[in-house]
Every structure is written in structure tokens, then in C-alpha cells.
Amino acid sequence: MSSTHRSLLLVVFTSSFLNTIVFGQSTEGPLSGSTSSNVSLTGSSASWSNTANALSSDNSYASSSLSSNGDFTDYLQITNFGFNISASNTIVGIEVEIEKFGDKVKDNQVRIVKGGSISTTDQSDNANWPNTDPNSYTLYGANNDLWGETWLPTDINASDFGIAISARRVGGGGGSAVPNIDHIRITVYFEIPLPVKLTHFSARAEGTNARLQWETGWEEGNSHFEIERSTNALQFESIGFVPGGNNSSERITYHYVDEAPNPGQNYYRLKQYDFNGSFSFSEIVRVAIQTPVPEYHVISNPLTSETTFIINDPSPEAYTLGIIDPSGKIVRKFYPNTRETQISRSHFPGSGLYFYRLTRQNRLQGSGKFWVR
């Protein structure tokens, strides 16, 4: 079976991001072993035959025979799985999957093999094996289960890394209980240091803007940063892009100014991309933006022929003035270029009550009503 890699993202939030490297979790496997053997177990009643049949899932079985209740087998040991995990990675979990069946059979022992030695941690369960071939696997271990051992990638990559299983008979009756194993495969989980060390990330208010600053201690294959913003620290949107430094062993300082933050609390995080497309998130930083409400007023209301809408803001072009009829339909929009916007009777489809909404970058700044005669 060929090697497969599944990439999972582990997002790390810390109160201080200094000298912290974010890790991404990946896997290699599931892989099949290429070496099989029967290994003696003290007190056992039977050995395994055709051990090589457990190297692939093909309905050919490694098997044994148990005559009496309580009898158990030697170990069926499978090793040499062909892992190739980089020495810079950290092993965090091992999963073993076994395709097995047999009437009146349960696990006796299921143990990992490290450095050619069968470990002391037993992962066997107490469930009866299926009576017939289920064409499915029983899972042992997990993505955070190290089977009571400390691992280096070299231990996993070694030809003497593997798994050993012993079966036992439960129940009497005539005839032999026959444990059968069709296939054993292993998946290994490990953490990869991501190629950017973020040593500082902060945000501060500058008037109605938010200024972000961050610093990297070193970079390897850093393509770019996406800047993401949220109002609740849960749902984020992308608002900008800053190119990365590619490869660098020097400190690099980055800046980004958000010119349209939300009034009140704003939460920011960085999404750092490598050139290979993988990415990681920074911690979340927060900044409060106090957005002043603009002074505005309407001259001549009710309107009979013409009126002036005045916005006392040095950037009136940032605003939109919408006129709305009583049914909620927008009948006119104005995009001010100066502080004074001229509104005439002809802009309205008829007399009566109308409402206005003043927005700045899609955020409401004020509202009121017109009477048109």
C-alpha cells in the first residue's frame, strides 16, 4: 500500500506568542508491514501459521488454533512498515488497525514493537472478535497515544518497528477456536515546526484606523500573510495581504493599517502561508476603535423645492446618503463629494414621508426623516 499524508491544522492560541512556534500536525500512513514472524510468548498454547498473509488485505489469513478455554497464542509480529518521517518532526500518536475474526476468540495482548522489543503497554480490548471476516478494521491507539513510549522519528522509520498481537480462546465447546488475521496497518501522527517564528504581534488604534505590527525571528519559504478581522473572535474575514520575506535568518518587522475597522472591538489574526500552500494562524490580538459620529443636519425640512444636507466631516466622500420610502424601498442614493449635498423636490417620486440613512463604509452613522410637500 502506498504512503499517504493527511495534513491537519492545529491552531495554537497563547497569551504571549514570544518565542513560540506554531505546529502543524500531519500523518504518514496507513502503511503495511513487510516482515512477519511468530514470536514465542510464555505459557502460550499455539503458534501462528502463514504469518505473511497478514501483510496485505486479500482474504488470505494468518491463523492459529486454540483447543481449550483460556488458551492463548504466541505473538504474531509485523514489522518493517517503511515509514520515512523527517528527523525534525515530533511523534505525537500511533494508530494500529487490525482486520481480524474468529469464533470464541478475543484479544490476549496487543503491544507495540520498538527497537525489536515488544513493549510493556497492552492495548488489547475485551470484545469478542467477529465470527466472520468483517472486511473492516479494529482501531488501537489514537492520534495522541504514544503507547507508553517516547519516540524519535528514527524509531518509527526503523525496520524493527511494528506491532505484536496474541489471541485467546473464550468459552468451551467442541472443536478448535481459530483466530484469523487478514491485515495489520499503522498510521503515525507527528508535528512539523512551521517555517516562520513569530516573535511579536500587536494592534493599536490610530484615530479611526487600526495599526497592526508583527515581527518574525526567522523565515523559511514564507510566501505571505493574510490579515483577518473579526468582531467576535470567532468568525473572521480576510481584509488584506502582506508579502512574506521568503527565507531569512534576520528579524523582519511588518506593518498593516486597517482603514475601515468596525466601531468598538476588533479582533485580528495573521494567516501565514508557505510557498507550498500550507498555512498557520497566529494568536488573536484585540483593539478598540472609537468612531466619532459625524455632525450633520438638514436645512429646510419639510422640503418644498430644495434642501441641503450638510456633513461636518473632512472626508464626506466616505459617506452614502440613502433616501427610503415608507415601504422600505430605496428611491435615491447620494454620494457626497463635498460637505453640502443638494436635494431637490424632483428627487422624490411624490409627496409624503421619506426617511434617510447616512452610512460610512456600509456602517450606519445616522438616520432621520424628510417631509416632502
Q: What is the pLDDT of residue 12?
A: 32
Alpha-carbon torsion, ordered 25, 31, 37, 39, to 10 deg: 20
**In this structure, what are the phi and psi dihedrals at residue 337, rounded to the nearest 5 degrees?**
-105, -20
For 130-176, the pLDDT digits (tens) are: 999 999 999 999 999 999 999 999 999 999 999 999 999 998 777 89
Q: Which CATH superfamily is domain 295-372 in?
A: Macroglobulin (MG2) domain (2.60.40.1930)
Q: Report, in angstroms and rounded to the nearest whole number, the Rg of the chain calculated over CA atoms.
A: 34
The CATH number given to 7-192 is 2.60.120
CB-based burial label for 165 (10 Å; 0-12, 13-18, 19+)? buried
Q: Which CATH architecture has domain 196-289?
A: Sandwich (2.60)
Write out the chain's pLDDT in tens, 373 residues.
333 333 233 333 332 232 223 345 689 999 999 999 999 999 999 999 999 999 999 999 999 999 999 999 999 999 999 999 988 789 999 999 999 999 999 999 999 999 999 999 999 999 999 999 999 999 999 999 999 999 999 999 999 999 999 999 998 777 899 999 999 999 999 987 666 788 899 999 998 899 999 999 888 889 999 999 999 999 999 999 999 988 888 899 999 999 888 888 999 999 999 888 888 888 999 999 876 666 676 776 777 788 888 887 777 888 888 988 888 899 889 888 888 888 888 888 888 888 888 888 777 788 888 788 8
DSSP-assigned states of every residue in 92-126: EEEEEEEEEE-TTEEEEEEEEEETTEE-S------
User: What pLDDT is attached to residue 121?
Assistant: 96
Cβ atoms of 281 and 289 closer than 8 Å: no
The widest CA-to-CA distance across the chain, in whole angstroms, is 107
Domain ranges of the chain: 7-192, 196-289, 295-372
Domains 196-289 and 295-372 share a fold: yes
The predicted pLDDT at position 291 comes to 65
